[in-house]
Amino acid sequence: MRGRSQRRFSIAALACYKSGERSRLIFRPGRHADHRRRGRRSLAWTDYRDLLTAAHRQLRAPLVLVWDNLNVHLDHRLWDFIDTHDWITSHQLPSYAPGLNPVEGIWSVIRRSAQANTAFTDPDHLIRVLRHRLRELQYRSDVIDGCLAATGLKMTTSHPQTQ
């Protein structure tokens, strides 16, 4: 028997941008104690539903959701939820386009800082370090802005801007 841990962690994150306000990072970690026995290896659609609901409450604003093609993002139950809530507008990124997703930049920052040259003593140590680093990034709007800038995408508004 191998000494590998059967525990698995998943983290869902939203990089939130609004013109004239500081950028925000909202995240939720999930721990899957024994994914082989229970079959769940990632966050469920209900976890994403709850994250969107919490973000809406926290930001006190409608959400324009731009996300990738992760299998759970395509779950019909999640789309049914999105379709029944007028405070969410959703757009899907093209397949295989991680360069257009600002959250991929967040994961890159995490890998280079929180995980670099670290020998984790156990899974709890790993999740503590990741949560700590994500909390630090929540207060670094310049880093979050940089992740959007790296995509080449720009924020636009449907309202005419006066000059």
Provide the residue count of the chain.
163
pTM to 2 decimal places: 0.78
Sequence-ordered list of residues with C-beta below 8 angstroms from that of 7, at least 6 positions apart, any chain: 31, 32, 33, 34, 35, 123
- The listed range with the strongest mean pLDDT (26-30, 85-89, 96-100, 112-116) is 85-89
**Which tens digit of pLDDT belongs to each residue from 16-35?**
988 888 999 999 887 766 54
Pair 32, 8: CB distance under 8 Å: yes
Give the Å distances, CA to CA, from 113 to 106, 118, 130, 132, 136.
Answer: 11, 9, 10, 11, 11
**So what's the architecture of 8-151 in CATH?**
2-Layer Sandwich (3.30)
Residue for token pair 């508004």: 157
Instruction: Using the predicted structure, report yes or no on whether residue 1 has a pLDDT greater than 80.
Output: no
**Which tens digit of pLDDT belongs to each residue from 41-55?**
678 999 999 999 999
pLDDT band at 3 (very low <50, low <70, confident <90, very high): very low
Instruction: Using the predicted structure, report yes or no on whether residue 86 has a pLDDT greater than 70.
Output: yes
Span 12-18, average pLDDT: 90
Domain ranges of the chain: 8-151
